Amino acid sequence: MKVDRLVSMILVLLQKERIGAQELADMFEVSPRTIYRDIDAINMAGVPVRGVSGAGGGFEIMRGYKIDNKVFSAADLSALLTALSGLFSMVGGSELATVLAKVKSFIPADRADDIFKKAGQICIDPAPWTADRAVQPCLETVRAALRQSRLLQFGYTAHRGVKTRRTVEPYQLVLKNSQWYLQGYCRTRNDFRLFRLSRISDLQLQQTSFTPRDHQKPVLDFTDTLKTMQTEIRLRIHRSIADIVLDYCPNEYFSPDGDTHYLVRFPFVENEYYYNILLRFGDKCECLEPPHIRAEIRRRAQKIAAIYGAP
């Protein structure tokens, strides 16, 4: 959100005597051209920012200036409170608490009730209903390592339950699909990796610091790749699990089949993850076609039955 970036830039400018356009661009992961446009917007909002050319030049707020709480509209402040409160509820930390307090200080007393009411209309909580809060201490340790550029050591349970010990340079925390991940350079594998925090054990913050290396952000959107891998299969499901199946495909893929069932065009990839999804639906779901996937589900179901001694 642009308003978040503008407020963050104002806070940075208030804290620093002078900062260059490229440094701001790197900090907010935008182009220098965008920074120049943002500076113009900040000036238009009434915050006097000037540019200083030459060696040691950059942008600075005119000395003696104190920010006026009328710079932000009620909608701006509501949006900022919503975003910052959601972020604070997820990761906590004194830095976010300080920024949240600063934003609240901009709220005029005569508009406070309306602004807080609007901010409360959206609640951000990405955790599952039955979340395991054991990830929180791990999250705090990773954040400390990020701030101080210190190495992390931990045990990691990877695909198929393989356990290894890793030494990692931390670079980024990622929240994806209600799960926290650490992106870092693994010195054990000599490459960048994405580690799911819930699979980390015996996390230890090392005293050894490191010099950050150039790195790219992890690829987090596999929509296009997934489309090339997926094929549609036909399911017949009981209406009692329709809400669960809707997590994986839209309403348009459903068609009624009598009073109690639906026929569903289900996007499917032939791997463990997707077969486990279908098995999760239990006896409320039948794969109608293609035949080879239907046969594979039957085989897996028979293996499960054998564990329980079914005839």
Q: Is residue 100 domain-shared with residue 57, that is, in the same domain?
A: no
The sign of the CA dihedral 184, 187, 193, 197 is negative
Share of the chain above pLDDT 70, in %: 80
Q: What is residue 22's predicted lDDT score, i.e. its pLDDT?
A: 86
Question: Residue 175 domain-assigned?
Answer: yes
**CA angle in degrees (0–180, nearest 5) for 292-294-295:** 65
Question: How far is the CA of 88 from the CAs of 97, 132, 138, 264, in angstroms?
Answer: 7, 18, 16, 40
Q: Residue 290 pLDDT > 50, yes or no?
A: yes
Question: Lowest-confidence range among 29-38, 202-211, 213-222?
Answer: 213-222
pLDDT average, residue stretch 282-311: 91
Question: Residue 216 domain-assigned?
Answer: no
Residue 32, domain CATH: 1.10.10.10
Q: Is residue 231 domain-shared with residue 297, that is, in the same domain?
A: yes
Point out the domain boundary residue: 181, 209, 237. Answer: 209
Q: How far apart are CA 175 and CA 307, in angstroms?
A: 37
Question: How far is the CA of 70 from the CAs of 74, 194, 208, in angstroms?
Answer: 9, 43, 46
Do residues 296 and 278 lie in contact, with contact meaning Cβ atoms separated by under 8 Å?
no
Residue 301, domain CATH: 3.30.70
Q: Is residue 93 domain-shared with residue 146, that is, in the same domain?
A: no
Q: How far apart are CA 195 and CA 180, in angstroms?
A: 9
Can you point out the beta strands (E) in the chain?
49-52, 58-61, 150-157, 163-176, 179-186, 191-196, 200-209, 231-238, 254-257, 261-268, 285-289
For 298, the domain range is 224-307
Q: Is residue 239 domain-shared with residue 296, that is, in the same domain?
A: yes
- Residue 51's DSSP bridge partners are 59
Q: What is residue 168's predicted lDDT score, i.e. its pLDDT?
A: 96
Question: Residue 25 domain-assigned?
Answer: yes
Global pTM exceeds 0.85: no
Do residues 96 and 87 lie in contact, with contact meaning Cβ atoms separated by under 8 Å?
yes
pLDDT band at 268 (very low <50, low <70, confident <90, very high): very high
169: enclosing H helix or E strand: strand 163-176
Question: Residue 129 domain-assigned?
Answer: no
Do residues 140 and 94 lie in contact, with contact meaning Cβ atoms separated by under 8 Å?
no
Q: Residue 262 pLDDT > 90, yes or no?
A: yes
Question: Residue 125 domain-assigned?
Answer: no
Question: Residue 128 domain-assigned?
Answer: no
Q: What is residue 1's predicted lDDT score, i.e. its pLDDT?
A: 42
pLDDT band at 301 (very low <50, low <70, confident <90, very high): very high
Q: What is the distance between the terminal CA atoms of the chain, rounded to a whole angstrom?
A: 59
Q: Is residue 228 domain-shared with residue 303, that is, in the same domain?
A: yes
DSSP code of 36? H
Question: Residue 218 domain-assigned?
Answer: no
Q: Which of the residue ranges 29-33, 126-130, 231-235 has the most confident prediction, judged by mean pLDDT?
A: 231-235
Q: Specify the higher pLDDT residue, 262 or 19.
A: 262
Q: How many structural domains are present in the chain?
A: 4
Residue 198, domain CATH: 2.30.30
